């Protein structure tokens, strides 16, 4: 049998490669833009989630958390931990729009979430542990190496179960809403965050426990079910949805921004 003509093979494969490259590029740009917009709200969410098991809450709510962070840490404080999710957003959104399937959940990098959450609660640590003054707090690379040094590479996947539950269910709801709704971006953002928000709360609590509630040496680390039960016992459904309000509020414009940028770039540069 004769081999296919070179021109035929090229015509079939090159457009696919170009399309994949554009999907990755457009998704990365859209993801990074949304992360810059939403990070102060994400930081607020994590800090509210991290106080559910505390005897006394540090913040009265999202507004109080934002105000206190601004007064005590300034603009830099509101963007504490941003580099890690920026990198994660590039990979996550590129894979989301490239595959358009749940394959993205397999490459969602939990170490990025771990580093981000640990950095976001650094200023909440007990005096003497926070590394004050502010500018001397460890950055993402230092946090990453510290986790590896303390718990080994396995420690980078702390909270993996909660992350996979959140991403699998949330991702399905995100794209289902995008396809079914006229106001796709906003609806998708709400569906994604509300669907399995308690899993995200448990994740943040597990990933920040070492900073805020250190365990005695040799004591077993936190588990998904154990942390879930403890949080439910402490504050019930309210505790499991701590920070959900501000998350939904930022998800509406953030998700809409992702789709607006991606669709806009696709229409402008996507045609062959």
Confidence at residue 64, expressed as pLDDT on a 0 to 100 scale: 96
Q: Is residue 52 part of a domain?
A: yes
Both tokens of 115, joined, read 């580093």
Question: Is the residue at 184 inside a domain?
Answer: yes
211 belongs to a structural domain: yes
Tens of pLDDT, residues 80-102: 988 888 887 777 766 666 555 44
Residue 120 maps to which CATH number? 1.50.40.10
Range of the domain at 258: 16-269
Give domain status of residue 37, yes or no: yes
Q: What is the pLDDT of residues 103-137, one digit of tens each?
A: 444 445 767 777 788 888 877 876 554 544 445 67
Average of per-residue pLDDT values in the chain: 77
CA distance 210 to 195: 27
Average pLDDT over residues 202-226: 89
Four-point Cα dihedral 169, 172, 178, 183, nearest 10: -20
Position 7 in a domain:
no
Residue 266: how many CB atoms within 10 A of its CB?
17
Q: Under a CB-based contact definition with an 8 Å cutoff, are residues 200 and 162 in contact?
A: yes
Q: Is residue 11 part of a domain?
A: no
The span from the first CA to the last CA of the chain, in angstroms, equals 32
Which residue shows structure tokens 């269910």? 169
Structural tokens at position 185:
């971006």
Looking at residue 169, its pLDDT comes to 61
Would residue 87 count as lying in a domain?
yes
Cα distance between residue 20 and residue 23, in whole Å: 5
Based on the structure, what is the number of domains in the chain? 1
- Whether 5 is covered by a domain: the verdict is no
Report residue 261 CA to chain centroid gap: 19
């Amino acid at each position: 049998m004769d081999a296919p003509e070179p021109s035929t093979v090229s015509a079939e494969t090159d457009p696919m490669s170009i399309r994949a490259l554009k999907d990755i590029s457009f998704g990365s740009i859209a993801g990074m833009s949304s992360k810059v917009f939403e990070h102060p709200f994400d930081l607020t969410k994590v800090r509210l989630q991290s106080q559910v098991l505390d005897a006394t809450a540090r913040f009265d709510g999202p507004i109080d958390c934002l105000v206190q962070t601004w007064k005590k840490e300034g603009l830099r404080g509101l963007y504490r931990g941003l580099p890690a999710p920026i990198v994660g957003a590039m990979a996550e959104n590129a894979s989301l729009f490239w595959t358009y399937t749940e394959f993205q959940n397999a490459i969602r990098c939990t170490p990025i979430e771990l580093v981000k959450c640990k950095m976001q609660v650094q200023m909440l640590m007990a005096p003497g542990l926070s590394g004050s003054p502010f500018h001397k707090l460890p950055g993402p690379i230092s946090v990453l190496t510290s986790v590896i040094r303390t718990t080994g590479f396995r420690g980078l996947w702390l909270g993996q179960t909660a992350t996979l539950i959140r991403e699998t269910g949330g991702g399905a709801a995100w794209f289902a809403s995008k396809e079914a709704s006229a106001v796709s971006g906003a609806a998708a953002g709400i569906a994604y965050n509300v669907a399995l928000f308690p899993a995200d709360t448990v994740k943040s609590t597990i990933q920040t426990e070492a900073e805020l509630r250190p365990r005695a040496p040799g004591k077993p680390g936190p588990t998904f079910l154990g942390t879930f039960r403890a949080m439910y016992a402490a504050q019930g459904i309210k505790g499991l949805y701590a920070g959900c309000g501000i998350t939904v509020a930022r998800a509406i414009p953030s998700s809409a921004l992702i789709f607006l940028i991606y669709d806009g770039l696709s229409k402008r540069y996507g045609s062959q």
